[in-house]
Amino acid sequence: MADEFIFDVEKVKPLKDVDRFRKAAMFFEKNGEYLQFPEGSIQKKRHWDQEIEYSLKGITLNGDFLPAYMYFYLNYSPLQKIEEKESLDDSDFSSGERIEGFPDYWDGDYEWFLYLHEAERRGKHAALLKARGKGFSFKGSSMLNRNYFLVRHSACYAIASDKEFLLKDGLLSKTWATMAFIDRHTPWKKRRQYHSTDMWKRASYEKDKTESGYMSDIFGVSTHNDPDKIRGKRGKIFYYEESGVNPNLLSSYNANLPSVQLGKKTFGMIIVGGTGGTVGANFAGLKEIFNNPNGYNVLPCVNRWSHSHYGKKSGFFFPAHKNLEGYIGLDGISDLVAASEHELRQRKIKAEGTTDPNQLKRYVAENCMTPEEAMLRITGTMFPVQDLEDHLEYVLSHPKDYIDSERVGRLTIDAETGDVKFKIDKSLKPIYDFPIKDNRYMDGAVVIYEPPQTTADGNIPYGINIAGCDPYDDDESTTTSLGSVLILNRLTDRIVAEYTGRPATAKEYYENVRRLLKFYNAKCNYENNKKGLFGHFENKNSLYMLADTPKILKDQELAKISMVGNKALGTHATEPVNKWGRELIKTWLMEPAVTAISGNIMNLNKIRSIPLLKELIEWAPDVNTDRVDALSMLMILREDMMKIVAESERGDPVIDEFFMRSPLFRSNLNTSSAFDD
């Protein structure tokens, strides 16, 4: 097998004498038209045939190669550019004005187009993370037009989670402006008699009462709440605009893959790109693809931009100090040192000039110099993200201690005793992805991190294990929402088991939850907004496993009792309740771990669940985090039981004597023999 090709910007040799690659644009700028020849002349045919060849295959001059997409961009895609009017020596800024003109050659653009060239010819896709204001909508619109005008029967898609990102000075509005220019000034003009709307243009016309012509298309697609809109589409380019705010990016991307590749053959290219600094942005999908390019058939780059991930594989990053206006020489080469110093000065000015920390964070994310800065969450997060990310990286880098030691399987009922047994089943796959990549494979599996602890007689003392559950009722869903239940050992304060999934029927989910609770002899606090779980437990004579509405909620006037049958069970998940639950999670995460030798080891450092860590890191008000919701229910029950313990120490006989024994008793606990390997 050949060695994997990894794109490395440090190995890209900047071009010299770049005007030789943009003679068509320079002629137009001087004369207001492209080079003209007599109509029907052989010179005219040869000239435009050559321009098509350069635009489709690229151009090599004296050993220097310019990719095809960049040739078309430089010579046939005018844009709004900034012309400097006056510069003062003692200022970081100068006056300027926007003018229409052709793009200049800049080294950052050359690296990007060369990356795309390598991705396309190697059957790969492309991922981009960038600073704001780098003109990628113009570059993307040029690519769509190149295929529309020069590749017969091609279809290109501009995709965003909301139509607004494509129109209103977005990718499509720039595409249509470039299209109009090419229609006016080149012989490639196309009629659009059948389809010419803001979201779809086709090069075709009516002939003999049938549609005829070049038959190339540019489509705009909004995937708003429907990632499957792209499924089954065939195309040459699928350009995802503003991927950082697309909550369904991974689902849409995976639905898209069969449209561009079959077996080892790739016949189209997916490009996902996003910008740092969007308020409330959900970067989870773009972050996943950017950090794990091989898993998505994305051409990997050597990460030359990060501190913690330097030298590892990633997508393509375009920092703020690359192609920074005012810091580019006449040869198109960025002065990275001076540009970096400029950005650091601006950050210092922002830090000293505002009392709002979010303002500085937003500026850093929009003008990012590393991928990590681009993915800063501006608002919404409330958990210790940096500590969680550090622990997640540790877990992922020690698979033998974590993933390989997990017990994955299903819970069965012993036909003779009725006891619940755990059976390892290697055919089952836990859901490690967050966000979910594809909503068709969500059955999940029971994951045991630590087996139940028992006394010498084999019993699990009641009250050791408690649970939190986020249920659901609907058998079918077009969303990626899951049911989740987490088990906590109160002696170690560690999460010892998890079941997260969405099997074929809701009853399957309820039964798996019931068996897991029975297996750990655990009491469960659950979101009682949905009534299906209660009904299943009632039918199975198992209501004793469900916690009463926590008294602590009533004391704090947070409880909204949902009467189910004749008893109030579980917790009604109102926004005040959810908010308090998240506050409890935050406190628990930062508390010193019970079994830690060092006080610097926190509860979060003992979490073994990779997807739970991902959800905690990515939590925001607009992000669906089912495990966090289950953990919230768990923390509320934990807090309620701690209050009961505190009351018992004042003389109230409300606690099992087991918890009043010496801590030395804990060493007599042993691992349950309920496993059936």
Q: Sorting pLDDT into bands at 50, 70 and 90, what band is 660?
A: very low
Q: Give phi and psi for 60, each to the nearest 5.
A: -115, 125
The predicted-structure confidence for 127-181, as pLDDT tens digits, reads as follows 999 999 999 999 999 999 999 999 999 999 999 988 988 998 899 999 999 999 9
pLDDT more than 90, % of the chain: 63
> Token digits for 296?
């998505």
**Of residues 385 and 149, which shows the higher confidence score?**
149
pLDDT of the residue at 268: 94
Q: How far apart are CA 304 and CA 255, in angstroms?
A: 31
Size (the chain), residues: 677
The residue behind tokens 């929402």 is: 481
Backbone angles phi, psi at 123, to 5 degrees: 70, 30
pLDDT at 563: 44
Mean pLDDT across 236-252 = 90
> For the residues 470-481, what does the mean pLDDT come to?
72
Nearest to 129 by CA among 380, 362, 337, 305: 305
Q: At residue 564, does pLDDT exceed 80?
A: no
| Average pLDDT of the residues of the chain | 88
Lowest mean pLDDT among 91-95, 418-422, 608-612: 91-95
Give the bridge partners for 328, in sequence order: 334
Paired tokens of 403? 């993933």
Structure letter (DSSP) for residue 59: E
Lowest mean pLDDT, pick from 176-190, 220-234, 374-388, 661-675: 661-675
Closest C-alpha to 332, from 662, 106, 521? 106
What pLDDT sits at residue 138? 96
Tell which wins on pLDDT, 227 or 201.
201
More confident residue, 7 or 397: 7
pLDDT at residue 202 in the model: 97
The reported pLDDT for the residue numbered 672 is 47
Determine the Cα–Cα distance for residues 293 and 524; give it in Å rounded to an integer.
39
Confidence of residue 427 (pLDDT cuts 50, 70, 90): very high
Token pair in block for residue 342: 């400029």
pLDDT in tens, 635-648: 999 999 987 655 55
CA dist 49 and 31 (Å) reads: 21
Question: Which of 423-437, 498-512, 547-561 has maximum average pLDDT?
Answer: 498-512
pTM beyond cutoff 0.75 = no
Q: What is the 3-state secondary structure (H, E, C) of 166-229?
A: CCCCCHHHHHHHHHHHHHHHCCCCCCECCCEECCEEECEEEECCEEECCCCEEEEEECCCCHHH
Contact criterion met (CB below 8 Å) for 77 and 145: yes
Beta bridge partners of 2: none
Comparing 35 with 158, which gets the higher pLDDT?
158
Q: How many Cβ atoms are within 10 Å of 160's Cβ, its own excluded? A: 24
3 state SS of 591: coil
**Which region among 96-110, 267-281, 524-538, 658-672 has the lowest average model confidence (pLDDT)?**
658-672
- For the chain, which domains are there? 9-374 (3.40.50.300), 385-676 (3.30.420.240)
